Structure 1
């Protein structure tokens, strides 16, 4: 998993509340091997039935090319538990999602895939969205060590994150990586658990 430290990048505004995982990645793509899952990101909103880009959709605006931050309305990532929703955001290039609240399972899936879900007060989210409306393509900075977000207009807002989750993101460790990092301790435990007779305790 790619470590997360500081990210400063173009921010995409999605002010709607209750953006669900089926919108983020339609279910019909979930059987596919994870190779460039970013091409499915918000697919049915980005493209029409003939696979042509829908004019006016935010991700089709050249101003947001190469975006790294998504600024959303409340309850982002609600709906099903599909981890593929985070796969597609990560593969598209998003490193952080900022919102007043998240679907719980989606939020946990973000931590496992190197995407930082940041809960911010609604008034600061509104401030960010207003900045992005005035200046499409503006950049937002997310500082995980300092636990703060800097808006395009210079406004700063702190955020909370569980210390364990923070440490794992900084080190680029998902649950499997974390377990493997303890391999020596696990091996020692297994060796000590085996009695001289070869029988386990």
Structure 2
């Protein structure tokens, strides 16, 4: 998993509330078990019309936000079904951080396992960042995970909380497999010992 240390990138404003996982990646794209290739269908039903053409008004289709790496979103982001394809699609598009007042629990947990930092802030601070994100090409935020700060285009800074273990995993690029592999020496020693103690298995 890619490490998350400091991210400086364009923030896209998505003030809709209750953006669910089917809006993030519709069900017809869940056939794959690969984490790559889903970015093109991120927010598919909002990005494209029935002919597959881009809807110009949708934020990620606008020139200033096509390479957005941060989303500033409305309340209860990631609600709905527990599909892990939702963070896969966000990450494949290039989104590394989502900021909201609240997230659905399963989506929130899945983000950390896929290298995405979900940040929960009070409504007043989300409103400030939503205003920053509305500046088009000037909507650049810097998210510093080590120092737990978000710096806006005018230099103002907002602090955020993150659970220490999850912070450690993101800073070091550790998903569940990576955490397990940190214990590879102990695992190998156990397997060697167990093979000697129970050779019939």
Residues 56, 165 of structure 1: alpha-carbon distance in 2 compared, 3 angstrom cutoff: same
Aligned counterpart, 1:136: 136
Deviation (angstroms), 1:136: 1.2
SS at match of 1:140: strand
Residues 193, 43 of structure 1: alpha-carbon distance in 2 compared, 3 angstrom cutoff: same
How many aligned positions are there? 199
Unaligned runs of 5+ in 2: none
When structure 1 is superposed on structure 2, of 44-53 and 33-42 the one drifting more is: 33-42
User: For each residue in 1:71-97, what CA deviation from the matched residue of structure 2 results, as whole angstroms up to 9, or x when unmatched?
Assistant: 001110000000000000000000100
User: For each residue in 1:44-82, what CA deviation from the matched residue of structure 2 results, as whole angstroms up to 9, or x when unmatched?
Assistant: 100000000112111110011211111001110000000
Aligned counterpart, 2:127: 126
Normalising by structure 2, we get a TM-score of: 0.93
Aligned counterpart, 2:5: 5
Normalising by structure 1, we get a TM-score of: 0.93
SS at match of 1:85: helix
The answer (yes or no) to whether the contact 1:86–1:106 under 8 Å persists in 2 is: yes
SS at match of 2:150: strand
The answer (yes or no) to whether the contact 1:128–1:152 under 8 Å persists in 2 is: no
CA separation in 2, counterparts of 1:124 and 1:163?
A: 22
Aligned counterpart, 2:107: 106
Unaligned runs of 5+ in 1: none
Alignment pair present for 1:191 and 2:192 = yes
